[in-house]
Amino acid sequence: MKTPNKGIHHITAISSDVHRNIQFYTQVLGLRFVKKSVNQDDPGTYHLYYGDYAGSPGTILTFFPWAGLQRGRPGTGQSYATAFSVPAGSLPFWQKRLAEFKVTSLPVEKRFADEVLPFFDVDGLRLELIATSESDSRPPAPSREVAADYAIRGFHGATLALTDAKATASVLTESMGYSLVSQDGHRARYAAAGGPGSYVDLLTDPSLPRGLNGAGTVHHIAFRVPDDAAQVAARGVLAKRGLQVSPVIDRAYFKSIYYREPGGVLFEIATDQPGFAIDEPVETLGQRLSLPPHLEPHRAEIEAALPKIN
Ligand code: ZN
């Protein structure tokens, strides 16, 4: 039995300075700041969410910002690159924009049928803009900074760097509903529901070092299931093949299970329901500090301990 996987739900990364993080993702990339919350396992730290207007699964990049945290080392055992889908022909706009904001980028490269612009955020997190000729009907977040013709549609996919892809590929294809769709050199592409937002590339580049966690690295990658029942079924499938899967944890905006895939990357499976509008209206998402119900009684002290965000 396979998981009814609909692709990527969210990707969570680690940053240092909270203000530079917000400025980069909202003003430079034009994403919407959809949720200001706290790390439920460390409520003295923010958990920030960026995405499309409604915070739809498949568009959400989240951060744990730890001030002054040392940079990590991108490499194997990590979700190594996070790719956004942008319209075909938009890369010249983005190259100019990234240069204007003094963002470090690499030359555009061809990957399968698409053009890819790799670049790095303020903490060195490896990002990519993939100008795809595939249809991507997801509406972008309205942005004063980035016109809709060029704007990010959501994730294209993620690249996992591995020393050996075999065991990871077997989990993806046998237990997570993924299939191999393309292969080129050290890179193999897998897709779930299909199309941008669902791709996972497995990269076995022998020149990559072992990854170390820290600022500018991905903490985990979450895959989508529609509801609680699908999540429980997915948990059963993964546990049956011997993976150590966490119990279901209520994250307020979704429910989550976690497990480390054999290549070392932390995977999560998250439900599409109930979503980010459960505790504030879509129109004002991200404006107020959102706390899960069990932390609400401690709002005053939590707010006092967090850095101020304007
Ligand atoms: Zn997560």
The CA R_g of the chain, rounded to the nearest whole Å, is: 18
pLDDT digits 0-9 by tens, 77-121: 999 999 999 999 999 999 999 999 999 999 999 999 999 999 999
Give SS3 for 156.
strand
In angstroms, what is the span from residue 164 Cα to ligand 1's centroid? 24
∠ CA 113-126-265, rounded to 5°: 95
Domain boundaries, the chain: 8-305
Question: How far, in Å, from the CA of 107 to the mean position of ligand 1?
Answer: 31
Question: Is 95 exposed, middle or buried (CB count within 10 Å of its CB: 0-12, 13-18, 19+)?
Answer: middle
Fold of 8-305: 2,3-Dihydroxybiphenyl 1,2-Dioxygenase; domain 1 (3.10.180)
246-256: pLDDT as tens digits? 999 999 899 99
pLDDT digits (tens, 9 = 90+) for 41-52: 889 999 999 999
Beta strand pairing call for 154-161 and 199-203: parallel
Choose among 117, 147, 148, 121: nearest CA to 132.
117
Distances (CA, A) of 94 to 85, 87, 91, 270: 12, 11, 5, 31
Ligand 1 mean position to 100 CA, how many Å?
32
Q: What is the pLDDT of residue 1?
A: 43
Q: What is the DSSP string of 237-278?
A: HHHHTT---PPPEE-SSEEEEEEE-TTS-EEEEEEEEE-GGG
Q: Which residues of 103-141 are buried (b: 16+ CB within 10 A; e: fewer)?
A: bebeebeebeebbbbbbbbbbbbbbbbbbbeeebebebb
Cα of 233 to ligand 1 centre, how many Å? 19
Q: In one letter, which amino acid is 64?
A: F
State the pLDDT at residue 95: 98
Between the alpha carbon of residue 210 and those of residues 79, 163, 183, the distances in Å are 12, 8, 23
Distance CA 190, CA 194 (A): 9
Distance 10 CA to ligand 1 centre (A): 6
93 C-alpha to center of ligand 1: Å? 31
pLDDT band for position 288 (50/70/90)? Answer: very high
Cα 14 from Cα 246, distance rounded (Å): 21
Quote the ligand 1 centre to 157 CA distance (angstroms).
16
Query: In the prediction, which pLDDT does 141 show?
Result: 86
How far, in Å, from the CA of 62 to the mean position of ligand 1? 8
Q: How far is the CA of 262 from the centre of ligand 1 (A)?
A: 18
Per-residue pLDDT tens for 232-246?
A: 999 999 999 999 999
Residues 174-224: tens digit of each pLDDT? 999 999 999 999 999 999 987 899 999 999 999 999 999 999 999 999 999
What's the CA gap between 78 and 69, in Å, rounded? 18
**Would you state the pLDDT for residue 3?**
53
